[in-house]
Amino acid sequence: MQIVFRAREQQAALAWLRRRGYVVVEDRPEEPAVRACRHRLAAFLAGSQQEFYSLSPSPFLAQGTAFQQRVWAEISRIPYGQTRTYGEIAKALGNRHLARAVGRACGANPCALIIPCHRVVASNSLGGFSGGLAIKQKLLAIEAGTGKVNPPPAS
C-alpha cells in the first residue's frame, strides 16, 4: 500500500506514522521517469496536453482478455474531447449487443488515463467509472475545455 501526501504535509504525516510503527520510509531521489510522468499528468489535467501517454501498441493492453484488448484498443481511438456510447463501441467491434460486455471491459481497465474509458458513456447518462462519476465528469470537463485542474504541487 502507498499513501502520498502533499510536500508540506509529508513530514508531519511521516512522523505520526513512525510513532505508531506503521511505516518504513525509503528516502530516494525521484527518478527521471517519475518526474516526466508527473509533468505529463500536470499538463493533461491543465488541459494543455491532449494525451496523457501515447504508446502504440500500449503494454497496458496486454493486461486483459482478448475481448478486453479489442475494447481498450477501440476506446483508445476516441479523440480527446469526444465521447462514444457503450453501444457505439460494441457496434464498432461488430456486435451492437455487446454493450454490457464493453462496460465490463471498461471496468477492468488497468490504467484509466492511458486507456481513456472516461470517454465512454451510456446512451442516456454518463454510465459508470471505476474512479467515480465525479472524476469522470471532471476529466470530460477538462477535455471540453471547461474544467481545468491546477497542476499538482512539485516535490
Which residues make beta-bridge pairs with 85?
121
Contact 71/89 with Cβ under 8 angstroms? yes
Whether 117 is a known active-site residue: answer yes
**Given 37, 106, 111, 117, the catalytic residue:** 117
Contact in structure between 42 and 151 (CB atoms under 8 Å): yes
- Residue among 84, 90, 93 at smallest CA distance from 120: 84
Catalytically annotated residues: 117
